[in-house]
Amino acid sequence: MKATDLNNKEFNSFYGGYINQIPEAWDLKTGFEIGKGSVVNFFKAIPKDKLEYRYAEGKWTVKEVFLHIIDTERVMMHRCFRIGRHDKTALAGFEQDDYIAPSKANEKSLEALIEEYLAVRQNSIILLNSLSSEDLKFIGHASGNKLSSRAAAFIVLGHEIWHTEIIKSRYL
């Protein structure tokens, strides 16, 4: 199952920017494994003096971006799980900016953030392995729009690629 298998009825067009980041060669489950190594290696390579850097006033630090990646995976995989279990309940949106201050990301070490990321990613991988192809194709509702279980998972992959590219271009 690849991102190119998705159709535009499975997700809000807003998420197309993330989904288009995913390499064509990646299938969903392999992408989660490859992404895990890429993200960890990427953040480990960032100089310590850049971890709390903001490229402009009011922008997030690198640590805050990293925790945002983690939190987004939590939210999107919760959606993936609920929709994959054929839950027809409309799922609420989330305001990403509201999550930053209470996260206290800048008080956490890079090692703690990596540990948190790896735990969340392992949970995501186990979840994906528990869902059938039909479950992953099931379409529910989130944030007032249609969303398939597999689209929620693919958004996670594209989202982390998107943000690592932003860090490369604006922070480093």
* Domain layout of the chain by residue ranges: 47-170
CATH of 47-170, one of 1.10.10.920, 3.40.50.720, 3.30.1330.60, 1.20.120.450: 1.20.120.450
Among 73, 66, 77, 168, CA closest to 127: 77
Q: pTM of this prediction?
A: 0.95
Tell me the average pLDDT across 106-135: 98
Q: What is the pLDDT of residue 66?
A: 98
Neighbours of 41 (CB within 10 A): 9
Q: Is pLDDT of 1 > 90?
A: no
Per-residue pLDDT at 12: 92
- Cβ proximity of 22 and 13 under 8 Å: no
With bands split at pLDDT 50, 70 and 90, how would you rate the model's confidence at 114? Answer: very high
Consecutive H or E run containing 42: helix 28-44
pLDDT band at 9 (very low <50, low <70, confident <90, very high): very high
Mean pLDDT of the chain: 96
63, exposed or middle or buried, with CB in 10 Å at 0-12, 13-18, 19+? Answer: buried
Q: What is the pLDDT, as a whole number, of residue 53?
A: 96
**pLDDT given for residue 8 in this prediction:** 87
CB atoms closer than 10 angstroms to residue 133 = 9
List Cβ<8 Å contacts ≥24 apart for 23-31. 26/2, 26/157, 27/1, 27/2, 28/1, 28/2, 28/3, 28/128, 28/136, 28/150, 28/153, 28/154, 28/157, 29/1, 29/125, 29/128, 29/129, 31/154, 31/157
Q: Cα(27)–Cα(10) distance, rounded to whole angstroms?
A: 17
> Average pLDDT in the 146-152 region?
97
pLDDT at 90: 95
pLDDT at 162 over 90: yes
